[in-house]
Structure 1
């Protein structure tokens, strides 16, 4: 059974914080590659923020699982393809063309042509990779929904544990034919649906404890592995690994438990940010082009990363939010920022 309508605000809160976290990850991108080039505390500040925010993209998948797998409406393939899938495919295609044009302007027509030819394996811009893995999930959802509804809660728990084991194997690089993106990302759909529809109060402290432990492992592990290698090591930053799953589940449950404490005025802003989150995701890297270039060339001009990253993230968020809201009111382009 789906959660009562009044409880769904926490999903808006989750979308909002995920949108902010994604921007922060993209702002700090140049800093994390500067190990040995900038003071250790400056580098670690950026990596600590990165290690604390990797749940952002998986959280969007969990929210999709929570809502789409919980739908009680009879499945209509035409409606689903046009309204549900189309809402994602149209902006993906549109922004792919926009970023191909940006590549041509910034790096020359040949670079744009090369990027166009490589679209079957490489996105036109770094953040568009998400759609290569997210769009296929829309074909999994109609198959998963009836299966989950037919399963008992104990069977679903077993399925979640099996998937958690698979994400641990992926982290440890244990070879298995099941370690495929479609399977690993589909697990986020199931986890989101499970946390949304089941009473997790008895498990709450375990999820929170494991999430905090995973955060600590991200921070310490990333530092130790990077120090050993002599360059940035991203082992703990994967989206399909157990540590990221545990942190994502913790964030989901924290929002579920405490979102109702948000006051009505802030709630309106959170809901607005959530509404425009996809457009913000698609648009904000355009704003960061000069910023990331400047950081790579003159990182010290921005001050300490512990302050610079949150500040740049906030400014980028506000501008992207305003632009997305504006574009959504223009009939010819509103489908690009649904």
Structure 2
């Protein structure tokens, strides 16, 4: 199935990928014992400037799914294809990270607890610390028919037979109510739930809430609104651009102050976890801001736009592989004394890791069977060449 090319989504994927890589590069350097306060503060400021990355991927997943399948087209075959394009690469990269960690720690690959260790990584990955996102986002793929049914019920009961302006008022009002409910959920998650002590499966669910879809549902629904009415969404984003910029700047200053206020000898980035009300506000405002910027950039054809589209095209494989490349860089930098140089080395590591991960994905995707490691990047490139007038939109959040 083909659809009109949505150029800004490719740019957004590229921007989100770069933001995620920058966050992980910051995490590699900001907790080192020889870091000076100036570097800690600067890295904290850059960190808040890139918080939109992961959660905007959730938004894009909802946008692409509803754009492609929101009109009732069969989703079963698409889900089977997504298992091969998303879950299989996740499993293979989980094995790769497990092997690397075992070898680095000088452990046997075939010990008595091997299979239990691998299974644990498939459900709660720690070796590939970034792979939790694949587990979380795949829950939305599995539950998409339910979200689509809810959208249909809402549309038939609340929107049909009303004027366009009234429909927009109802949708915006509903989103505001959902945002308030989601903000309340974030308040519970950050301030209340950590103090709970439950038993059995409920304690497991509580401890792993950062990987569970209910705690990210608003971004997916917002993406569904975008994908269901793309032109209206574009118009709204452009109109809101001055306000989203203002809110982002206010929240950026506030979160920076909050980070310093709750940090002692070292900056604690966990103060700005995704599941926090203030983080929710800055991410939404930043998401609307960068969407508007992506719309403006998509009309250009200079080298920056082409680079972002390149990153967006291979962002899923780049996401899966970048932590391994970063580990290789860290293997060289960790023995070094970098006092007063942590900010430059973070930026240097980012400049190495991000393009290297995309280039590696691009090369692997061209090998026979390479899509099992990179997702549908190679297949999408071939389809685009065969149908130059249109784009086959894959419902992969990182691509």
TM range (shorter): 0.7 to 0.9
Q: Specify which of 366, 369, 373 is matched with residue 329 of structure 1.
A: 366
What SS does the aligned partner of 2:221 have? Answer: helix
Aligned length: 330
Whole-Å Cα distance in 1 between the matches of residues 275 and 255 of structure 2?
Answer: 12
* Equivalent residues in 2 for 1:37-76, closer than 5 Å: 37-72=34-69, 74-76=72-74
Aligned match of 1:165: 180
* Equivalent residues in 2 for 1:4-153, closer than 5 Å: 5=4, 8-34=6-32, 37-72=34-69, 74-109=72-107, 113=114, 115-119=117-121, 120-149=123-152, 150=155, 152=159, 153=168
What is the alpha-carbon root mean square deviation over aligned residues? 2.9
User: What TM-score, normalized to structure 2?
Assistant: 0.73
Taking a change above 3 Å as real, the CA distance of residues 110 and 46 of structure 1, as seen in their structure-2 partners, is: farther
Aligned match of 2:219: 188
Q: Please state if 1:311 is matched with 2:348.
A: yes
Whole-Å Cα distance in 2 between the matches of residues 202 and 266 of structure 1?
Answer: 25
Deviation at 1:236, TM superposition (A): 1.8
Deviation at 1:30, TM superposition (A): 2.8
Whole-Å Cα distance in 2 between the matches of residues 305 and 254 of structure 1?
Answer: 32
Taking a change above 3 Å as real, the CA distance of residues 29 and 231 of structure 1, as seen in their structure-2 partners, is: closer
Deviation at 1:88, TM superposition (A): 1.0
Whole-Å Cα distance in 2 between the matches of residues 11 and 194 of structure 1?
Answer: 14
Deviation at 1:271, TM superposition (A): 2.1
Q: Specify which of 204, 224, 237 is matched with residue 261 of structure 2.
A: 224
Whole-Å Cα distance in 2 between the matches of residues 233 and 260 of structure 1?
Answer: 33
Aligned match of 2:380: none
Q: Specify which of 230, 234, 237 is matched with residue 273 of structure 2.
A: 237
Q: Please state if 1:288 is matched with 2:326.
A: yes
Taking a change above 3 Å as real, the CA distance of residues 260 and 252 of structure 1, as seen in their structure-2 partners, is: same
Taking a change above 3 Å as real, the CA distance of residues 230 and 15 of structure 1, as seen in their structure-2 partners, is: closer
- Which is further off, 55-64 or 147-156? 147-156
User: What TM-score, normalized to structure 1?
Assistant: 0.85
Whole-Å Cα distance in 2 between the matches of residues 67 and 224 of structure 1?
Answer: 39
Deviation at 1:337, TM superposition (A): 0.5
C-alpha contact 1:51 1:219 (8 A) present in aligned 2? yes
Taking a change above 3 Å as real, the CA distance of residues 145 and 240 of structure 1, as seen in their structure-2 partners, is: farther
Q: Which runs of 5+ in 2 are unaligned?
A: 160-167, 194-201, 376-399
Q: Which runs of 5+ in 1 are unaligned?
A: none
C-alpha contact 1:19 1:277 (8 A) present in aligned 2? yes
Aligned match of 2:378: none
C-alpha contact 1:32 1:43 (8 A) present in aligned 2? yes
1:154-209, Cα deviation, whole Å (9 max, x unpaired):
443344223322443314735489x9632221211111233453331444433222
Based on CA coordinates, which of the two structures has the bigger radius of gyration? 2
Deviation at 1:297, TM superposition (A): 3.8
